[in-house]
């Protein structure tokens, strides 16, 4: 039985190597990939609001997506399978807000950084479970993505509540330090800039 699994694994790896060109597929122009060096800027928010709209506060559309095949987890570029992205055309800054743009950007960047922590934890979990995922289909990748999304959403809500949308400067700085420490601890699961 293990001989059959070994052959299946070899076949999947061979198929994965053929798909490696797909793994590095560039994102559409309306998407940005998270970067440790490039921070969000006003020009990144492309959704333009009509005057006197009913929307309050700024909004950033962030998400995790899969780019490639499960067999890619075994390669050198396995971390690139999970991407943490920002959808520019679905994000906007509230220019009527009394909060300065700098504070809004800092708040939204922190939300995106929390997604990056979740993305790195998901990459770590996927890499550790790669053999079981390929050979027996467990754990289910969709379940892992859902769990990562739910965990990130809960942390974002906690962050928002504790910092009052980033306005409590001392708490904001505490969150930024904690996130930086988590990102450093998970550096092995980062996607190179």
The pLDDT tens digits of the residues spanning 56-98 come to 678 898 999 988 888 888 888 888 889 999 999 999 888 776 6
Total tally of structural domains belonging to the chain = 1
Helix (H) or strand (E) run with residue 136 in it: helix 101-136
127 within 8 A of 189, measured Cβ to Cβ: yes
Rounded to whole angstroms, the Cα distance separating 65 from 171 reads 30
Q: Which domain holds residue 25?
A: 2-189
Q: Which residues of the chain have pLDDT under 70?
A: 1-24, 48-56, 97-99
Instruction: Report the pLDDT value the prediction gives residue 95, as an integer from 0 to 100.
Output: 75
Q: Which two tokens stand for residue 100?
A: 């300065």
The neighbour count for residue 72, using CB atoms within 10 Å, is 25
DSSP track, 57-113: S-EEEEEEEE-S-GGGGGSTTGGGGEEEEEEEEEEE--TT-SS-HHHHHHHHHHHHH
pTM above 0.75, yes or no: yes
């Amino acid at each position: 039985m293990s001989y059959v699994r070994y052959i299946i694994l070899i076949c999947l790896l061979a198929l994965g190597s053929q798909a490696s060109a797909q793994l590095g597929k560039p994102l559409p122009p309306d998407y940005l990939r998270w970067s440790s060096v490039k921070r969000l800027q006003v020009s990144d928010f492309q959704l333009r609001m009509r005057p006197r709209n009913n929307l309050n506060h700024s909004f950033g559309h962030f998400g995790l997506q899969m780019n490639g095949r499960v067999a890619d987890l075994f390669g050198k570029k396995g971390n690139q399978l999970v991407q943490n992205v920002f959808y520019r055309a679905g994000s906007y800054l509230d220019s009527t807000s009394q909060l300065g743009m700098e504070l809004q950007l800092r708040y939204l960047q922190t939300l995106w950084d929390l997604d990056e922590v979740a993305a790195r934890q998901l990459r770590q979990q996927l890499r550790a479970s790669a053999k079981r995922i390929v050979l027996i289909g467990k754990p289910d990748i969709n379940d892992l993505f859902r769990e990562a999304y739910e965990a990130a959403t809960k942390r974002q809500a906690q962050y928002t509540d504790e910092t009052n949308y980033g306005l409590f400067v001392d708490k904001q700085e505490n969150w930024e330090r904690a996130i930086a420490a988590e990102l450093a601890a998970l550096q092995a699961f980062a996607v190179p800039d």
